Amino acid sequence: MQDAGMSLATLLARLAMAAAPADTSPPSPGQIAQSAPASEWMAIPADEMLVMTLAPAAGQTEPRRVVIQLVPSPLSNGWVANIRRLAAAHWWDGTSVNRVQDNYVAQWGDATEKKPLPPGLRTMTPSDYTLAWRTLAAASPKSLDPLTARGKKGRVADVYAPHVTWYRDFPIATDAAPVASRRVWPIHCYGSVGVGRNLAPDAGSGAELYAVIGHAPRHLDRNIAVVGRVIEGIEQLSSLPRGTGDLGFYEQPAERATIMSVRLASELPAAERPHFAYLSTSGTTWSRYVAARQNREPPFFEQPAGAADVCNIPVPVRVEPANR
């Protein structure tokens, strides 16, 4: 006779579960991030997010949204100030994505290169690609723990810089100089947003931007300004048709994806603002997350790498409730 209120199928299922061996698989990096307490999820301020709306794709009716988190102060430098001014002037409205190069970048701006820029933009120079380490450390003394770039277990291997770490949720690198003269710079990973420019000494104004849609082009570090990273909608850029012209530029105007608007999230009506948070890189969960990315374990991974490239340790981002 089956138990009162319990079907035979339910009883058999429970017996099977009781008899099954417990799952002893180690948690994945994603599971570790999801288990972080709410206090370790840091809200991204609305004035540090740029919302770009692209016209609907062919045959579609819904606009496409890309959300970019801007590099925070003091790492941001003058390019981000220019980007804020350009967004406030609605300068990008009606411009387009003009270049999509496979395994490299999607780039946008004024294809005619004749649209007047708003007044008051700062003039940047190649010397602004890096920042004094001491300036950054003074702003965030607890979250900057350089990881020596060696490939041993527990380290982040890097061939482009002696030290790599994170400032808030942005990967950064430093040189090996003494602290008094050490320099730091944000690096190019998948989804990073940088400033297009002409030949040096031109360093770009911020009007021409690109997002990395392929393998991390670390050779661009300290040669082009990194001003943010795409935290939502990278697929709207990476899935665009590749340009057939030199360097992936579109040869016909009809091929370009029209930009309907670009706004700081803080300028949008409250109901339309995105809400995101990133996993703190100075909390207790972060070290467990990094270790899991470095040492992927069985049953799927038979040969754990014991190390990870800095770009293979993306800082998790999640959507947050609007009223948090």
Domain holding 223: CATH number?
Answer: 2.40.100.10
- What is the domain extent for residue 113? 44-302
| Residue 106 · residue 238 · CB < 8 Å | yes
pLDDT band at 84 (very low <50, low <70, confident <90, very high): very high
Structure tokens at 307: 């190390």
Rounded Cα distance between 153 and 189, Å, is 22
By CB atoms closer than 10 A (0-12, 13-18, 19+), residue 321 is exposed
Does 240 fall in a domain?
Answer: yes
**Is residue 204, in this structure, part of any structural domain at all?**
yes
Tokens of 210: 């690109």
In a domain, 320, yes or no: no
- Quote the CA–CA distance of 257 and 238 in Å, as a whole number: 12
Mean pLDDT confidence for 274-291: 93
**Helix, strand counts (H, E) of the chain:** 6, 18
**Has residue 32 been placed in a domain?**
no
Strands 96-100 and 64-70: unpaired
Work out the average pLDDT over 234-262: 97
Give the residues across from 170 on adjacent strands.
Answer: 167
Residue 141 located in a structural domain: yes
Residue 23 lies in a domain: no
pLDDT at position 301 = 84
Rounded mean pLDDT of the chain? 90
- The number of folded domains in the chain is 1
Specify if 287 maps to a domain. Answer: yes
